[in-house]
Structure 1
Amino acid sequence: MNETSEAQSSRIRRDSSHNTSSDRTRVFVIDDHPAIREALATTINSKVDMRLVGESGSATQALRQMERNAPDVVIVDISLDDAHGLDLVEEIRDRFPSVRIIVFSMYDESVYAERAIRAGASGYIMKSEPTQNVVNAVKAVSEGDVYLSRRMSSRILSKVIRQQDYQLGSATEKLTDREMTVFQKLGEGYSVREIAAQLDLSRKTIETYRRRAKEKLGFETVAELLQYAVQWAYGREEEGSANGQ
């Protein structure tokens, strides 16, 4: 009788352990900075209800690994060497419809948060925020909620209520997602040829997006656009550095 009870208890413990493991939220991290991937991995694995199932510094490698690891939530940096974060968000959404996506970026939420949500993300966090906010975001999106800062949630809600456009205090709001991608990469020092290769588009197409961005932002020449793009990108790098990123 005792042996039977012990066997049953052992089986119950094994079943309980299995259920606990299967109930944990499976998280995958995509970021081209190893230190950030390591910090997120440590934070996620320290939580009893989460576990890291993979990490990658490139979009191409990440998509291959996600086929095998089947994450519940993916944390995506918006600026990768082989893809733009918004393009990657759309591809993940199309290939893995059940996966929830959180964009984790150095870029201010006023520039990219709404774009990220439109692309298919369920949350947006700036890298200047505490790591605990990433945990909060994973919990929120895994339960089907959208995670944004209170400020950004209020702005988006106000836009819906008023049924009219509002300004986010940035001229770049005039740009479409693709124009914004090209503008950002120009500011980061990439050539038209390099951007075309990264986005798998023709050079002529990239030049068209560059021309549209130039016109929408009110510049007469490409040189003026490039100067502004560099200043824009550098300003956000400075913001990230000031916040310890």
Structure 2
Amino acid sequence: MTRPIKVLIADDHPIVREGLRLVLERRGDLEVVGEAADGRAAIQLATQFRPDVAIVDLDMPQLNGARVIAELARHLPSCRCLVLTMHEDDAHLSDALAAGAAGFLVKGAGSADIERAVRAAAAGQMVLAPEIGPRVARAMAASRPTRGGEAFADLTERELDLLELLAEGADNQTISRALHLAPKTVRNQVSALLDRIGAPDRAAAGQAARTAGLRRHRN
């Protein structure tokens, strides 16, 4: 039997922590292993329990959420940090993604959305709230250099093929089959592509390609 996904909740409001625990623990595949009311406690509990996912508020005493995420990314990279915050402005979004957040949801998200986000984060996927994702993609597309009126014109044919597959939401296994590459090669090429285009994650890269109107036809 597959073990439950271990989740840490870090939020300074007890009612929020209680609500999240109730939402998550009604599912057998999710287990809340700890609750932290401040940033330092979040890091201590994460070190102790080694959760798969930490749900992190950005406004907390001791250390704010962005600093917690950065510390966990540095010292506990196996823990994926999912932001759940009342802030949806560009500054907070940018700080969270730069720190290494694996997802960004705003408070008010439905319980089903939170459950899906936790599972997606645990699976290594990036999660952005519907109202957040397009803003990230537009900012990325606008910042890309163009040549001949075509966005991403400086990418190689292989990179364009890979970017199109990301735009289609393909996972690494699908990309491996489509491009006839070993899974390890796919992981390396995806990572290199994200660095090349300045994307924080594969979901944002795919959204940027769709926003820019990238359409490719692979042989």
Shorter-chain TM-score above 0.5: yes
Distance in structure 2 (CA, Å) of the matches to 1:147 and 1:113: 12
Distance in structure 1 (CA, Å) of the matches to 2:14 and 2:92: 23
Query: 1:31 touches 1:58 (CA, 8 Å); kept in 2?
Result: yes
| Residue of structure 2 in register with 1:76 after alignment | 56
Structure 2 letter corresponding to 1:147: V
Deviations 1:17-72 (A, max 9, x none): xx34x2x1100001111111010011111112111111110222222222221100
Distance in structure 2 (CA, Å) of the matches to 1:150 and 1:63: 29
TM-score of the two chains, using structure 1 as the length reference: 0.55
Q: What secondary structure does 2:108 align onto?
A: coil
| Residue of structure 1 in register with 2:121 after alignment | 141
| Residue of structure 2 in register with 1:152 after alignment | 132
Comparing 134-143 and 154-163, the one that deviates more:
154-163
| Residue of structure 2 in register with 1:99 after alignment | 79
Flag as ranges the 4+ runs of structure 1 deviating above 6 A. Answer: none
Structure holding more strand per residue: 2
Q: 5+ residue gaps in structure 2?
A: 145-219
Give the number of equivalent residue pairs: 145
Query: 2:106 touches 2:129 (CA, 8 Å); kept in 1?
Result: no
Mapping of residues 1-245 of structure 1, within 5 Å: 19-20=1-2, 22=3, 24-163=4-143
Comparing 125-134 and 80-89, the one that deviates more:
125-134
Deviation at 1:157, TM superposition (A): 1.7
Structure holding more helix per residue: 1
Query: 1:58 touches 1:81 (CA, 8 Å); kept in 2?
Result: yes
Distance in structure 1 (CA, Å) of the matches to 2:97 and 2:125: 12
Deviation at 1:110, TM superposition (A): 3.7
Query: 1:109 touches 1:126 (CA, 8 Å); kept in 2?
Result: no
Deviation at 1:112, TM superposition (A): 1.8
Q: What secondary structure does 1:51 align onto?
A: strand
TM-score of the two chains, using structure 2 as the length reference: 0.62
Deviation at 1:141, TM superposition (A): 0.9
What is the root-mean-square deviation in Å for CA atoms of aligned residues? 1.8
Q: 5+ residue gaps in structure 1?
A: 1-18, 165-245
